[in-house]
Amino acid sequence: MYQVVLLNDDYTPMEFVVLVLQEYFLRDLDTATQIMLKIHHEGRGVCGVYTKDVAATKVELVLAAARRAGHPLQCILEAA
């Protein structure tokens, strides 16, 4: 299993991170906000744990959405 991790940066708006968590990881507003604040304060936050293929697809979807929106948001996968 692999965890999908979002990394903090100084440019991506917090609202966009919450939107990504809701849209791609099916988090409700409160949970998405909590994860976003963890990313903001600790530099990283786990969005979810998936099989390797699903995790890799989610990373690609998030990176593509961030690029389309003009944000430098980074999303990685790590072995859980």
Per-domain boundaries in the chain: 2-79
pLDDT score at 2:
98
Q: In which band, very low, low, confident or very high, does the pLDDT at 4 lie, cut at 50, 70 and 90?
A: very high
pTM of whole model > 0.85? yes
CATH for 2-79?
3.30.1390.10
Task: Give long-range contacts, CB 8 A cutoff, 24+ apart: 29-32.
Answer: none
In this predicted structure, what is the pLDDT of residue 37?
98
Q: What is the pLDDT of residues 22-74, one digit of tens each?
A: 999 999 999 999 999 999 999 999 999 999 999 999 999 999 999 999 999 99
Question: Of the candidates 63, 51, 53, 52, which has an alpha carbon nearest to the alpha carbon of residue 24?
Answer: 63
Tell me, what's the pLDDT at 54?
98
Specify the pLDDT at position 58. 98
